[in-house]
């Protein structure tokens, strides 16, 4: 059903209808009834302001629990960059596949692993941890260029910081690098500023906090190492003399590190289509890093988080096949339990992608909220 184009088209039509002009029914109502409807709309505005306060408290709750997570993330970072060696107890992990092996096979595998370890030099920490995470996630790997990879091998940690109580709502991503030959910064930052209050001119459009803007940082590139720029040579012909000369020009280059120089949002808030599209994608990436990558980095490193997402899609397709199968009998083959996580992800994604780009930006904050995921 979720893959049925007719149903999706019907949903889109219904959503379009919801965004349309007020129905003729409202116009036909008596003045006294319209007056009461206006009272209800005033109540709705008050509801929007209460909802805004709710999201402000959610932000504070996220900040509180971020502080509880941080010692675990710090230890993860220490293991990755080899400043801490985990104990045997900390390294004990029984995967499903290992439990199915016989003692004999386990012993054989252990001996073979020990031989391989003896043959190889012991690497420090977990080499290329974050680069591997990025390469495993389509949303991030699409941003990577070949010339970015040697730099991202030096990425040691990504941290998330929330704005302090009483400060405007925001969060900051910190990318921590070891000393390298490309730039002198040890930390690159990206800050997302948000607003959680109804727009006075359109209070009914309030749907939770929205990202208003984002700011990057200046990267202090070592001379000749700036991968966000490239040098090209062009031949120019003199109009009068007809002579040809070669001109060298520096132009922008595709790179992950353009992430730290996003388009600026003008004071009037109006952007051209290209900048709007770039910012919409930027907001999506920023929230994905904050809500999924940082908390579950090891699962994206191993690929398990990606497999979970793929399993959700496969299960959804199987359900659709069963519904379309005339021989399917739920009494003989009971339906699977409700896929709460899958259903939530689908509903969020469906609403997001059915919205126009401008509304996607507004809705972006809530698209990747981790609650229940």
Tens digits of residue pLDDT in 203-214: 887 777 777 889
Model confidence at 223: pLDDT above 90:
yes
Looking at residue 197, its pLDDT comes to: 81
Where is average pLDDT lowest: 88-102, 153-167, 259-273?
Answer: 88-102
Looking at residue 353, its pLDDT comes to: 40
Helices (H), 120-234: 129-136, 138-141, 149-152
3-state secondary structure of 237: strand
Looking at residue 109, its pLDDT comes to: 62
What whole-number distance in Å separates Cα of residue 174 and Cα of residue 186? 10
Residue-averaged pLDDT of the chain:
78
Is 373 within a domain? Answer: no
Residue 330's domain is classified under what CATH number?
3.30.1120.90
Is 338 within a domain? Answer: yes
Looking at residue 99, its pLDDT comes to: 53
Total domain count, the chain: 1
Could you tell me the pLDDT band of residue 310, with boundaries at 50, 70 and 90?
low
Determine the average pLDDT of the residues in 66-88. 95
Is 154 within a domain? Answer: yes
pLDDT in tens, 99-136: 555 555 566 666 666 666 555 677 889 999 999 999 99
Is 13 within a domain? Answer: yes
Looking at residue 288, its pLDDT comes to: 94
Is 138 within a domain? Answer: yes
Model confidence at 60: pLDDT above 80:
yes
CB atoms within 10 A of CB 32: 7
Looking at residue 338, its pLDDT comes to: 40
Looking at residue 86, its pLDDT comes to: 95
Is 319 within a domain? Answer: yes
Helices (H), the chain: 5-18, 24-28, 31-80, 88-91, 96-100, 103-119, 129-136, 138-141, 149-152, 273-288, 297-302, 304-324, 340-354, 357-367
Could you tell me the pLDDT band of residue 6, with boundaries at 50, 70 and 90?
low
The model carries a pTM of 0.70
Is 251 within a domain? Answer: no
Where is average pLDDT lowest: 68-77, 203-212, 297-306, 341-350?
Answer: 341-350
More confident residue, 365 or 322: 322
Q: Which domain holds residue 42?
A: 5-223+257-367
Is 188 within a domain? Answer: yes
pLDDT in tens, 156-205: 999 999 998 888 889 999 999 999 999 999 999 999 998 878 887 788 87
- The pairing of strands 210-215 and 229-237 is unpaired
């Amino acid at each position: 059903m979720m893959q049925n184009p007719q149903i999706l088209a019907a949903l889109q039509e219904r959503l379009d209808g919801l965004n349309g002009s007020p129905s003729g029914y409202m116009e036909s109502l008596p003045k006294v009834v319209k007056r009461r409807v206006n009272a209800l709309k005033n109540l709705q505005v008050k509801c929007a302001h209460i909802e805004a306060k709710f999201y402000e408290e959610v932000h504070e709750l996220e900040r509180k629990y971020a502080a509880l997570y941080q010692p675990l993330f710090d230890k993860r970072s220490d293991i990755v960059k080899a400043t801490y060696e985990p104990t045997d107890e900390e390294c004990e992990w029984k995967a499903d596949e290992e439990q199915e092996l016989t003692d004999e096979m386990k012993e054989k595998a252990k001996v073979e692993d020990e031989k391989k370890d003896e043959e190889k030099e012991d690497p420090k920490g977990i080499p290329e941890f974050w680069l591997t995470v990025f390469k495993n996630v389509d949303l991030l790997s699409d941003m990577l260029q070949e010339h970015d990879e040697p730099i991202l091998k030096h990425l040691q940690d990504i941290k998330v910081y929330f704005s302090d109580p009483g400060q405007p709502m925001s969060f900051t991503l910190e990318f921590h690098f070891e000393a390298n030959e490309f730039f002198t910064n040890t930390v690159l930052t990206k800050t997302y500023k948000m607003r959680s209050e109804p727009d006075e001119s359109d209070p009914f459009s309030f749907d939770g906090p929205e990202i208003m803007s984002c700011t990057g940082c200046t990267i202090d590139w070592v001379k000749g190492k700036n991968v966000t720029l490239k040098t090209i040579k062009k031949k120019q012909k003199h109009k009068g003399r007809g002579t040809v000369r070669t001109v060298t020009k520096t132009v922008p280059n595709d790179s992950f590190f353009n992430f730290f120089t996003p388009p600026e949002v003008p004071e009037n808030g109006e952007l051209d289509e290209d900048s709007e599209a770039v910012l919409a994608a930027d907001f999506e990436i920023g929230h994905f890093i904050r809500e999924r990558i940082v908390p579950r980095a090891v699962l994206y490193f191993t690929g398990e988080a990606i497999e979970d997402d793929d399993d959700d899609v496969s299960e959804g397709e199987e359900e659709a096949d069963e519904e379309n199968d005339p021989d399917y009998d739920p009494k003989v083959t009971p339906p699977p339990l409700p896929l709460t996580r899958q259903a939530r992800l689908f509903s969020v994604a469906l609403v997001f992608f059915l919205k126009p780009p401008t509304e996607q930006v507004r809705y972006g904050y809530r698209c990747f909220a981790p609650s229940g995921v």
